């Protein structure tokens, strides 16, 4: 059977991500598995490029920041008192935060980017915010979804958190070491 990438197919990709200068951002050590068909399991521009492809075919997609992790937002950088954090604090740690009267949809994951004296710098931007990316992949497997329109993807695939732009951003973020 010579199946093509189409709506309600589960697609497996070998991939890697670089910046426009060719510096590796994600070496793609594990296969990416997603449900094709507008389910926000992968960035829309990548899904569009893959539509109709067959096993063995490759694509390279250049993503501008607004097509990937968004533009860098300086308003998501905050300086907080050191006393408000646990004793064991390191650059790279992450904390959830949001407006006091907000709901779960308003939560932001903040990364500790600097610790100086009695202050902690937090950044709510994705580490790749503001970056153009080049996503290169090869289709390695295609199968019909067990239940059309339902995520029937193995646990090695993109986690679905339903946050913001797409679970693709969350998935890639998890692949980049929880950045």
**pLDDT above 80 for 51:** yes
Whole-number pLDDT of residue 104: 67
Element (H, E) at 44: helix 44-50
Residues carrying CATH 2.40.10.330, the chain: 74-123
Query: What digits encode the pLDDT tens for the residues 60-70?
Result: 999 999 999 99
Mean pLDDT along residues 100-123: 86
Average pLDDT of the chain?
84
Between residues 104 and 51, which one has the greater pLDDT?
Answer: 51
**pLDDT above 60 for 145:** yes
Which class is 9-69+130-175 in CATH? alpha beta
pLDDT confidence bin for 37, thresholds 50/70/90: very high
pLDDT confidence bin for 99, thresholds 50/70/90: low
Residues in Cβ contact with 162 at an 8 Å cutoff, skipping those fewer than 6 apart = none
Residues carrying CATH 3.10.50.40, the chain: 9-69+130-175
Whole-number pLDDT of residue 90: 95
Mean pLDDT along residues 56-61: 98
Contact yes or no for 4/154 (Cβ under 8 A): no
Contact yes or no for 137/55 (Cβ under 8 A): no
Was domain 74-123 assigned CATH 2.40.10.330?
yes
Whole-number pLDDT of residue 1: 61
**pLDDT above 50 for 148:** yes
Whole-number pLDDT of residue 97: 82
């Amino acid at each position: 059977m010579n199946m093509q990438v189409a709506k309600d197919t589960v697609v497996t990709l070998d991939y890697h991500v670089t910046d426009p200068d060719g510096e590796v951002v994600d070496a793609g050590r594990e296969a990416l598995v997603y449900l094709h068909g507008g389910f926000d399991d992968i960035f829309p521009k990548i899904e569009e490029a893959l539509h109709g492809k067959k096993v063995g075919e490759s694509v390279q997609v250049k993503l501008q920041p607004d097509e990937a992790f968004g533009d860098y937002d300086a308003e998501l950088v905050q300086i907080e008192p050191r006393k408000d954090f646990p004793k064991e604090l390191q650059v790279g740690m992450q904390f959830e935060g949001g407006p006091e009267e907000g709901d779960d949809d308003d939560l932001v994951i903040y990364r500790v980017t600097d610790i100086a004296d009695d202050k902690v710098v937090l950044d709510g931007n994705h580490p790749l915010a503001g970056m153009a990316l080049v996503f290169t992949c090869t289709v390695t497997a295609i199968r019909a979804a067990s239940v059309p329109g339902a995520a029937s993807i193995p646990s090695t695939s993109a986690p679905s958190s339903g946050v913001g732009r797409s679970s693709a951003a969350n998935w890639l973020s998890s692949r980049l070491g929880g950045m």
